[in-house]
Structure 1
Amino acid sequence: MFKKKVIALGVLAIAASLIAAPSANAGAKPAAKANVGDECLRAGTKAAARGVNGSDLTCTKVATGTFAGTLRWWYPEMKPYGTLEWVSSSAIGGGYGTTAIAIGDAMKKEGLLKDYTVTYKTNAPLGLGYFYDQKDRKDMLLITGFAMPGGLATNGSKLTITTANAVAGIMREAEAFVVPTSSKYKTINDLMADIKANPKAVAIGGGNYGGVDHVTVATLAATVGVKATDLNYIPYSGGGTLTPDVIGGRVAVGISGTSEFASYVAAGKMRVLAVTSPKPLKVIKGKTLVQQGVDLTFGNWRGILAPADLPAADLLNTLKVIDALHSTQSWKDTLVAKSWIDEYRAGDAFSKWIKTENTAIINVLTDFKLIK
């Protein structure tokens, strides 16, 4: 039952994103069909209610970034950020931090941000707690994702991601199962055979207890009849702290987002047993689960939250900045470089979706008996 729920969280969302993904290079668009970043023909023309949350777009000669000097449907009243503090609920090298860096770098390239810092907290309660404790901050955003609701629940926290202002869901990343190059495991089925025979004897390292890595492993284990509660799962604060233990053989296998392991695989320090994407990825070499006879695909979404007390005008400006970023070449290049899936929702659409997703994640964890 829960396998179907988990797959639905990944595959259906991926399919929807691929269908809905806009193109900024399809030629000039009339006002009635305009999306931010599309080409337009006459400066000053309005595209009523075509922007985020029903705001207007204006045909504008863009001054900065990869659109500089061209006419685009844009937000001419939008104010770029000066400095920005990102909050990451993972240690250095973890997925939240690497996502913040990727967004921040793309924003800088496009003239949407002058500079940024990343504040690292080691788990969801600490990260979200720090974020909520800050008041009157117009220069702060937090990276959230699939792992956060589970991380809060399994730590007994009463905090929830639905209290903050939802800005945008920006992407989905496949998971990778990796082992040290000296490992006896050559395929994911080799690993699963040992887990089925004696689950407690196989140390599995991943992100927080109840997070996306844990759920992925639990879903895979269920395919061979092993309960999530019987696994020898060891939680880490992110890929940065997990990586040395994978390379050193202190865990039998590690699981995390592909971008956290890609450089170590390329350097020959790790070997990929499987990736959870529908198709093989360019960013990391390894067969998919499907290619190895396991009918499972999965991915970890990540998004952006703004402070709950952010004034409405500043929130709308933030929505416009991120919406503009999503249309740019810098962001498209980032998605390609990291093999991230372009799963994008902004403003009210993301706010509605994240509430449903939060409930779905808690239900999956309850089904697995990882929380009560």
Structure 2
Amino acid sequence: MKRNNFLRTLFTAAVMFSSAAYAQVSVMLPANPGGGWDGTGRQAFSAMNKAGIYTGPVNFTNKGGAGGTIGLAEFQNSQTGKANALAVFGAITVGAITLNKSPIDLNKFKPVARLTAEYLVIAVRPDAPYENLGDFVKALKENPGGTPVGGGSAGGVDHIALALLAQAGNVPVKDLNYIPQAGGADTVTGIVNGTLKAGISGISEFQQFAKSNRVKILGITSAQRMEGLEVPTFKEVGFDVEIANWRGILGAPEMPEENYKLWVDRFTQLNNSAEWKQVMQTQGWDQFFLAGAEFGDFIKSESERINTILKDAGLAQ
């Protein structure tokens, strides 16, 4: 009898573990299909499946708008306490929460993992009168209003990177003439036709145009030079700026601790897998991994830094 009870208990525990391990996962992608957040979420779970880390069902929900705050607010309201509810988000969301006066509180979410990063570059016309990034910052300082710079949405990571460069070059951030563009192609068009003196965006937006000599890249916001790209970092030129358009995974507020630890472990395994490294290479993403509490500390420090910049730029109170 005792043996039967023991076996029954063991079987029940195994079923419960199996159910927890392979119950359907709900993943909020707070952007429209086809973008960076959409790709990050779908590619991560595809690689996780191929690596045998998690092979259960996944339900993706796309809900774009307002820098990810619309989808993330819905996720916060509907998924609190859920054991297998995750959301993709990134650097853009941090500023968007402030600019959109969103009720989202990132401290309530479970910081699972920071996965990828794309560094930003400044590009100009090949015949622009700037030999290097220092020349451009000098022109920006002499006439910030007459030096329009295009990039992503106001308060987004492109805008913030330009503001950090301005601060490093003693240019008043509030005097910058930053013009948001609908996309990278529009920024390139503005650079080429002269309506923009420069553009700032992720390296993937400009690299192909630099290769065809339509634009010239002056600098990149990474800590070290990127392999295969003969472009100096902002720091090399004397401007202490390092920033990336990073993307990561959040767990639902009040997610049970055992599930939270399980997802941190799964994404740690994913980061070390050959399948994910292949995805990174194919997509042109940089590894930018942090997990658990360390990722939580990063989110807090990044929120403070970005919100300070937004206030300096006059975009936030």
Question: TM-score scaled to structure 1, two decimals?
Answer: 0.65
- How big is each residue's C-alpha offset from its partner over 1:308-342, in whole Å with a ceiling of 9 and x where there is no partner? 25444443332232121012122334445666554
Whichever structure has more helix as a proportion of its residues is 2
Equivalent in the alignment of 2:268? 323
Q: Give the letter aligned to residue 103 of structure 1.
A: A
Kindly name which structure, 1 or 2, has the bigger radius of gyration based on alpha carbons.
Answer: 2
Equivalent in the alignment of 2:188? 247
Q: From 44, 57, 66, give the equivalent of 1:123.
A: 66
Q: Give the letter aligned to residue 185 of structure 2.
A: P
1:177/1:99 CA distance change after superposition, 3 Å: farther
Take 2:165 and 2:72, find their aligned partners in 1: how far apart are those partners? 29
Equivalent in the alignment of 2:37? 96
* Structure 2: 5+ residue stretches without partners: 1-16
Q: Give the letter aligned to residue 47 of structure 2.
A: A
**Counterpart mapping for 1:78-97 below 5 A:** 79=21, 85-89=27-31, 95-97=36-38
Q: Deviation of residue 116 (structure 1)?
A: 6.6
Whether the 8 Å contact between 1:246 and 1:252 is mirrored in structure 2 is no
Equivalent in the alignment of 1:146? 91
Q: Give the letter aligned to residue 233 of structure 2.
A: T
**Counterpart mapping for 1:287-302 below 5 A:** 287-302=232-247
- Secondary structure (helix, strand or coil) at the match of 1:359 reads helix
- Secondary structure (helix, strand or coil) at the match of 1:210 reads coil
**Counterpart mapping for 1:162-173 below 5 A:** 162-173=107-118
**Counterpart mapping for 1:224-263 below 5 A:** 224-236=169-181, 241-249=182-190, 251-263=196-208
Give the number of equivalent residue pairs.
293
1:195/1:368 CA distance change after superposition, 3 Å: same
Question: TM-score scaled to structure 2, two decimals?
Answer: 0.74
Moved more, 245-254 or 111-120: 111-120
Q: CA RMSD in A?
A: 3.5
Take 1:274 and 1:163, find their aligned partners in 2: how far apart are those partners? 36
- How big is each residue's C-alpha offset from its partner over 1:27-51, in whole Å with a ceiling of 9 and x where there is no partner? xxxxxxxxxxxxxxxxxxxxxxxxx
Whether the 8 Å contact between 1:283 and 1:338 is mirrored in structure 2 is no
Equivalent in the alignment of 1:271? 216
Take 1:313 and 1:231, find their aligned partners in 2: how far apart are those partners? 48
Whether the 8 Å contact between 1:180 and 1:248 is mirrored in structure 2 is no
Whether the 8 Å contact between 1:205 and 1:235 is mirrored in structure 2 is yes
Q: Deviation of residue 229 (structure 1)?
A: 1.2
1:104/1:231 CA distance change after superposition, 3 Å: farther
- Secondary structure (helix, strand or coil) at the match of 2:262 reads helix
- Secondary structure (helix, strand or coil) at the match of 1:344 reads strand
**Counterpart mapping for 1:1-372 below 5 A:** 79=21, 85-89=27-31, 95-111=36-52, 112-113=54-55, 117=60, 119-124=62-67, 125-135=69-79, 140-179=85-124, 185=130, 187-236=132-181, 241-249=182-190, 251-266=196-211, 269-282=214-227, 284=229, 286-308=231-253, 310-335=255-280, 342-372=287-317
Whether the 8 Å contact between 2:114 and 2:248 is mirrored in structure 1 is yes
